[in-house]
Structure formats: C-alpha cells, structure tokens
C-alpha cells in the first residue's frame, strides 16, 4: 500500500496538472516548463553532509555531488531528465545526493546542452564527452556507473549503444529510472495509464520530441533505444512506476534486453508515478536503497 506521504504528493501533482490542463505543443512554453521544474526541485531538502562542487568538463557546466561514504575511485555519471529540453544540476541535486550515499560513489551531473536551442545530437555528444573525460581523468570503466531518469535514462542507453558501436570500454553498470526509450510514443501505457498518471501529459509527450529530434526518425535506435540491438551491454537496473504513461518504455526495453542476454534487474512500483525517486517519500528512498545495493553487488 502506498505511504501517506506518497498519496499526498500524488494528489498535489494531480491538482497541479488539472489546474494547468493538457496544452498542445503550440501552447507550450519552454521557459515556463524550465522554471516550473526548478521551482519544484526547490521544495526538496538539502541532504546533510554532502559535498557539492561546481566544475566544468571542457566547457560543459557540471557538478560533483559526493556523500561522505563515496569511494574516491568510484564515479556515477548521472544524466538528468527533463525531456531533453529542461533540467539542470539544481533540479537533480537531491536525487544525486541520495544516489551518492546509496551507491558509495561520487556523482557527476553534467548540464548537457538542451533542445530546441541544441537539438540532437548535442545531448549525446555531451554525454559521450563527459564519459571520455572521466576515463581520461583516471577513472577505470569497471568503476564507472552510468545512469539517468526519464530522458536521461534514454540518453544513458544512447550513450552505451554508441560506445558499444565504437568498440570502446563500457561502464560497469547502468541505472535507469523511468527511462524514456521510445520517442515515437507507441507504448500501450500511453493510453492505459493516462488517467492514472498524475504528472505526464500524453499530448506533450508525443509532441515535444520534435524539439529534440528535428528531422530525425523517432524510431531511430540511437534516439529510441527500444528499437536497438541491446546485446553486449553492462548489467542494468530499471525502476519504473506502475502509474505512468511511460511504463511500457521500461517493460519493452527490459524484454528486449533480456532476449539479448543482458543482466537486468527490473521492478515496477505499484501506485508510483514518473521518477517518484525525486520526491521525499518512503518509496523513493526504498528505490534508491535498492539501486545502491544492486550497484554495489556489481562493482568490486
């Protein structure tokens, strides 16, 4: 049964969505969406004892988030969500802090370039650049975790697929939180979960990708990993909410990965919504703890 805290948050999200309606892309304000996500993240508390250090990856703004128990040689490259059009270190600092504790890793959050100002392949180029920078800085691939939420989860897969295609060493483990893996929006949950989803709009989820893709086919495997060959990838953990329209982006990805022989741990969280781990609810902490246990079991 869902906790009282999660029920309260869910009701607030539903009320907010009802008040805003379901606008079409033509009525969508990118600046308002970016500001709204920043304001939402301001409601999360600071995590005590976590060190935050601003940095730059050869021009890409980034942030190190390090819990006291983080191992010096272990790093988590975290790619934030936000539909490729919003999100920042600010919006994901709380989640990065909790993940640093649970995985015992320093977390590096790059502010990859956002669409529509910087459409595909800008975000992917920046993610690859951040990974290469970590490797050149002395971190060994076997001690690197890569992961992200929503669009950041899809970007994680795109990064892994590109590294694999190039024959480069892969990170040791991947963490996918409500990953957005089908920019064509063909999953049945787009319809079956639209009434249950307190946060995401099917209309916008179907229409916004053009801001990132421009003329790219949304079923191109490099932008929609649900259509890719998923063999040869590192162990991965996927957590998704049962009450989100992107549920099938996870279920189908996991099915394809398992069919390709991948090592996958998968959990669907009942009564939970998209990236519920960003909220201060018991279920969010439990998910983060389980992710940490999985990661530590795969690293030396």
pLDDT of residue 137: 96
Q: Cα separation of 205 and 211, whole Å?
A: 11
**Which one-letter DSSP state was computed for residue 171?**
P
Domain containing residue 117: CATH number? 3.40.50.1820
Confidence check: pLDDT of 277 > 60: yes
- Start-to-end C-alpha separation, the chain: 35
Annotation says 244 is catalytic: yes
How far apart CA 248 and CA 241 sit, in angstroms, is 10
Q: Per-residue pLDDT averaged across 203-217, rounded?
A: 94
Q: Across the chain, how many H-helices and E-strands are there?
A: 10, 8
pLDDT tens-place string over residues 137-173: 999 999 999 999 999 999 999 999 999 999 999 999 9
What whole-number distance in Å separates Cα of residue 291 and Cα of residue 297?
A: 10
For residues 81 and 148, the answer to whether their CB atoms sit within 8 Å is yes
Residues 294 and 237 sit within 8 Å (Cβ to Cβ): yes
pLDDT single digits (tens) 241-273: 999 999 999 999 999 999 999 999 999 999 999
- For residue 150, indicate whether it is catalytic: yes
Across 104-127, average pLDDT: 98
Domain count along the chain: 1
21 pLDDT more than 60: no
Out of 158, 274, 283, 287, the active site residue is: 274
Q: Which residues of 134-154 are buried (b: 16+ CB within 10 A; e: fewer)?
A: beeeebebbbbbbbbbbbbbb
pLDDT at 248: 98
- For β-strands 60-66 and 105-110, DSSP reports them as antiparallel
CA atoms within a 13 Å half-sphere pointing along the CA-CB vector of 136 = 8
Element (H, E) at 18: helix 4-20
Residues 244, 250, 283, 287: which is the catalytic one? Answer: 244
Instruction: Give the integer Cα–Cα distance in Å for 69 and 100.
Output: 8
Residue 24 has pLDDT above 60, yes or no: no
What pLDDT was estimated at residue 47? 80
Report residue 26: phi and psi, to 5°: -65, -25
Distance (Å, whole) CA 250 – CA 179: 6
Q: Which domain holds residue 102?
A: 4-298
Contact 22, 194 (CB under 8 A): no
State yes or no: is 239 an active-site residue.
Answer: no
Exactly one of 150, 158, 178, 189 is catalytic; name it. 150
Query: Which pTM does this prediction carry?
Result: 0.96
Q: How far is CA 10 from the centre of its chain?
A: 20
């Amino acid at each position: 049964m869902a906790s009282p805290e999660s029920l309260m948050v869910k009701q607030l999200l539903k009320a907010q969505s009802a008040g805003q309606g379901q606008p079409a892309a033509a009525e969508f304000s990118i600046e308002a969406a970016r500001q709204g996500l920043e304001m939402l993240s301001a409601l999360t508390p600071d995590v005590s004892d976590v060190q935050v250090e601003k940095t730059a990856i050869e021009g890409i703004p980034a942030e190190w988030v390090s819990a006291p128990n983080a191992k010096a040689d272990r790093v988590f490259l975290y790619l934030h969500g936000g539909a490729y059009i919003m999100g920042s270190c600010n919006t994901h600092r709380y989640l990065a802090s909790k993940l640093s504790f649970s995985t015992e890793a320093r977390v590096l959050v790059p502010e990859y370039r956002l669409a529509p100002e910087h459409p595909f392949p800008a975000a992917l180029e920046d993610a690859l650049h951040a990974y290469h920078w970590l490797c050149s800085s002395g971190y060994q691939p076997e001690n690197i975790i890569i992961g992200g939420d929503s669009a950041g989860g899809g970007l994680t897969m795109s990064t892994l697929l590109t590294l694999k295609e190039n024959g480069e060493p892969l990170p040791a483990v991947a963490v996918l939180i409500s990953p957005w893996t089908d920019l064509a929006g063909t999953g049945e949950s787009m319809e079956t979960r639209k009434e249950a989803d307190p946060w995401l709009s099917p209309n916008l989820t179907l229409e916004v990708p053009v801001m990132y893709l421009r003329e790219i086919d949304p079923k191109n495997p490099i932008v929609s990993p649900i259509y890719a060959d998923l063999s040869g990838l590192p162990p991965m953990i996927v957590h998704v909410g049962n009450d989100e329209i992107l549920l099938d982006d996870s279920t189908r990805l996991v099915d394809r990965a398992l069919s390709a022989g991948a090592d996958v741990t998968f959990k669907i969280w009942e009564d939970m919504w998209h990236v519920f781990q960003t909220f201060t609810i018991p279920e969010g902490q439990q998910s983060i703890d389980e992710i940490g246990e999985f990661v530590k079991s795969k690293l030396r």
